[in-house]
């Protein structure tokens, strides 16, 4: 979908501040400046700070990538954020999340879990998005798996990927080339 709300980022005409952040993103763990990160570069200070938080949330929390990606998918589906889904569904599968779980989340169904940590993270993410809070039992299940640190970092992941999804939706960030809208 083309829309004037999706700002064009001319890589040959970046300001010094934009160039610095652009280079840091490209040279970091992501290796690519795409999607919402390109939108954020319209505000280099926001881009710099959000990217730093995002790098932590994506790569450095105490949560295993499998459940971190699960939380990202729950968020992407909640926001019907096609770009986010297209990028992270393959990563979630590669990290070991079962295909039926990924598909159930995409279709708005509650998956059946065999792993307790996946069930705990899914319930936490789903409750926090839908109810704006989590029950005591859901909180306790995440803390039993990952401690309070893990619960805090899970909220960080959910919040960061909400920001990502909101950016994608507000600025009509197009899907990666060749991808169909998953929602």
Q: Give the pLDDT score at 6.
A: 76
Residues with Cβ within 8 Å of residue 4, at least 6 apart in sequence: none
Q: Give the pLDDT score at 88.
A: 97
Phi first, then psi, for residue 181 (nearest 5°) are -65, 120
Q: How far apart are CA 115 and CA 28, in angstroms?
A: 32
Q: Give the pLDDT score at 3.
A: 54
Tally Cβ neighbours within 10 Å of residue 162.
17
Band (pLDDT 50/70/90 cuts) for residue 7 is: confident
Query: For residue 10, is pLDDT > 80?
Result: yes
Q: How far apart are CA 75 and CA 126, in angstroms?
A: 8
- What tens digit of pLDDT does each residue of 80-90 get? 999 999 999 99
Query: For residue 109, is pLDDT > 50?
Result: yes
- What tens digit of pLDDT does each residue of 135-177 get? 999 999 999 999 999 999 999 999 999 999 999 999 999 999 9
**Containing H/E element for 85?**
helix 82-94
Which residue, 175, 169, 161, 173, is CA-closest to 38? 173
**Predicted TM-score of the model (pTM):** 0.93
Average pLDDT taken over every residue of the chain? 94
Phi first, then psi, for residue 138 (nearest 5°) are -70, -45
- What tens digit of pLDDT does each residue of 13-72 get? 999 999 999 999 999 888 888 889 999 999 999 999 999 999 999 999 999 999 999 999
């Amino acid at each position: 979908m083309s829309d004037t709300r999706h700002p064009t980022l001319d890589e040959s005409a970046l300001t010094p501040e934009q160039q610095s952040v652009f280079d840091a993103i490209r040279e970091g763990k992501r290796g690519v400046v795409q999607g919402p990160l390109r939108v954020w570069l319209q505000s280099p200070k926001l881009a710099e700070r959000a990217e730093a938080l995002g790098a932590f949330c994506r790569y450095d929390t105490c949560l295993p990538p499998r459940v971190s990606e699960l939380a990202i998918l729950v968020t992407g589906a909640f926001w019907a954020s096609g770009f986010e889904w297209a990028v992270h569904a393959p990563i979630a599968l590669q990290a070991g999340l079962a295909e039926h779980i990924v598909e159930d989340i995409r279709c708005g169904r509650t998956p059946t879990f065999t792993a307790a940590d996946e069930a705990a993270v899914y319930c936490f993410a789903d409750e926090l998005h839908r109810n704006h809070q989590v029950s005591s039992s859901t909180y306790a299940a995440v803390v039993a798996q990952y401690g309070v640190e893990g619960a805090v970092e899970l909220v960080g992941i959910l919040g960061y990927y909400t920001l990502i999804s909101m950016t994608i939706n507000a600025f009509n960030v197009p899907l990666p080339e060749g991808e169909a809208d998953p929602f």
